[in-house]
Amino acid sequence: MRKYLIPLALGLVAAQPANAVLMVTMQDELGATFHCVDNGGACDFTGAANNLLTLNNTVGNFQVAGTISTSSSGLLNLLSLVNFGAVNTDPLGAHTLNMYVSNTDYLGPVSQINGSASILFSNAVGSGPSSLDFYADTANVQGANLINTPGVLLFSALQTPTTNPQAFLGNDSAAFFDANLFSMTQAAHINLKGGGSFTDFSQNMQSSFSPVPVPAALPLLGSVVAGFGAFGAWKRRRKIGSDGSTAR
């Protein structure tokens, strides 16, 4: 029987928290869900603020060794998700593991956000495409609650394994302007064929304090892609300024 894992101790996961709260969600394409909030009970094994450790989670057909999420705000705003590894235990069917991590109250002013990611696929040739997405929100709305991704999509990486094993590493940057508090959210959609697995997964966002006032909206800056092999198509989307206007 499929298990739907949503710890009751987490409280009102659908409501916007009053203060910054680090959240992580894992969900398969059929709706099996694991959700944990920083210091939210038995699901968080660290006990430290802005550090969220989960261990040995079953999410539908996926067995997940564990994740660790970290967040910090100030002169350096940082959001990070590391997944120790996961395997699709269904020998016959492909499934998608969706992962979300988010926090609020990152400090502006800010003019740019940098992102990086890595993953190592094993026995995954024949799997569908996977994507890694990076969001930021001038309205400072909490993401990963359960699977929402507020704000604007800054950049995205797409990959389909064609060799075994196959490693990917890449980074990108995007203009993002906000003079006040903002939120950051990361989403990963990893498709694995039956018996496929991944390890060495990490997804990171960071921005530095910008003391120079920034305009409400500016044209999108160019991106830089680097890493191990071709890291797929880093898709740049629209940007919004601190007043909610859109620059394309």
At residue 152's C-alpha, the angle toward residues 84 and 7, to 5°, is 45
Please write the tens of the pLDDT for every residue from 104-140. Answer: 999 999 999 999 999 999 999 999 999 999 999 999 9
Q: Which of 43-47, 201-205, 207-211 has the highest mean pLDDT?
A: 201-205
Q: Would you say residue 135 lies in a domain?
A: yes
Split at pLDDT 50, 70, 90, the class of 224 is very low
Bridge partners of 55, per DSSP, are 66
Note down the domain range covering 26. Answer: 8-247
Is residue 234 classed exposed, middle or buried when 0-12, 13-18 and 19+ CB atoms within 10 A define those classes?
A: buried
221: in domain: yes
Mean pLDDT along residues 87-111? 97
Number of separate domains in the chain: 1
Is residue 90 assigned to a domain? yes
Is residue 53 in some structural domain? yes
Q: Do the domain assignments include residue 1?
A: no
Residue 24 lies in a domain: yes
Q: Does 3 reside within a domain?
A: no
With beta carbons less than 8 A apart as the criterion, state whether 121 and 165 touch.
yes
Q: From edge to edge, which strands make up the β-sheet containing 110-122?
A: 51-59, 62-72, 76-88, 197-208, 110-122, 166-178
- Model pLDDT for residues 22-57, shown as the tens digit of each residue: 999 999 999 999 999 998 778 998 878 899 999 999
47: left (phi over 0), alpha (psi -120 to 50) or beta: left
Token code pair at residue 165: 């094993």
CA dist 196 to 118, 189, 222, Å? 17, 14, 35
Flag whether 2 is in a domain: no
Which stretches of 85-212 are DSSP H helices? none
Predicted TM-score (pTM) above 0.85: no
10 Å Cβ neighbour count for 230?
10
DSSP 8-state code for residue 5: B
**Token digits for 201?**
């997964």
Quick count: other Cβ atoms within 10 Å of Cβ 145? 23
Q: What percent of the chain has pLDDT over 70?
A: 77
Task: Check if the beta carbon of residue 248 is closer than 8 Å to that of residue 240.
Answer: no
Alpha-carbon span 28 to 56, nearest angstrom: 16
Measured CA to CA, the distance from residue 4 to residue 214 in angstroms comes to 45
